[in-house]
Structure 1
């Protein structure tokens, strides 16, 4: 029985705490949240030293092709070729050597080197033509002519890239022809020309193959200097 002076606080009476129950099973995971904002990019690290360059690879055209027979006129592909003495249109028929071919947009060039001496010859052709230029010898070499006439006291010739530069000292003792020199580099074409003094024509020179002859109307000592294209 409640006493008259009891105060009703409106709070239900609570009994003593009971024992703790067993842990329940883990619930399902919730949905993934939104990705956070990306942070600023870090600084680039220092570049390491460059390694040494490796050896260059070999171009396929660098290999030397061994050819047994054929015609130089038909070898037009870039490359290097070893040729024997059977090839047609060789600068020195019957000789072995090395042929290099360089083909561009407008021209093809051939350079042939004689195997045992290193003598070199060159020629070329246009891209739209089957006609090759004549071979001519590259470089400088001295000639060794032999004297046919006692009028010659000195002879010296130098060939530079297909042009012979010839100097001769002669003593003319009669107006007849003098057979001066044989064994010169053969001229591309035979020729005859007048030998002039300051006032008049005094004689003629004649170049026939590898031989030089002359005549003069006046007896005297003469220093002769002439150039001509060499046949190849």
Structure 2
């Protein structure tokens, strides 16, 4: 039976379509056999394909190994820092930096160790160099600000915090520290104003409302 034409497409009647499908199925090999019915000439290519894949895997492992080693070194120094083992942390950080002297993460950790172990001058130098070489990193600017603030150099602390925020506008730690610094400076200004001869009850009420106290 010839196919009927309609709508520009060939449509087969039911019995003809069924017999055609059955004939097609007879020529399809079972699905599991498809894997093993490759010509034998392709077997060497399939076998050799495994070796580039293994080489790629080994290459990826070798590439990620240094990254993992660095992460382990950072974690070890950080753990010793938080455990109060400052001498060990500093020794390990300095030994690491002998091989990678420009590593900003380890240099930052070294600065934190120096600050925690009561070596503010060394920490200040470490953070200053970091902010000069890596101005795009906000954390060293913030750490530098804390050192300036501890010395009473609030202007330099403010500038460092503003640099940290410019480097990362959503850096919450620097934003909070800048707010605290501004409150401290405001308290100093208010208290200085209250020392004047003229009594300023409005200013005194404002100071009390802000929870500030003047000596």
- TM-score interval, smaller chain: under 0.3
* Larger RCO: 1 or 2 (CA < 8 Å, sep 6+): 1
- TM-score normalised to structure 2 length: 0.22
TM-score, structure 1 normalization? 0.21
* Bigger radius of gyration among the two: 1
Question: In proportion to residue count, which structure has more strand?
Answer: 1
- Which has the larger share of helix? 2
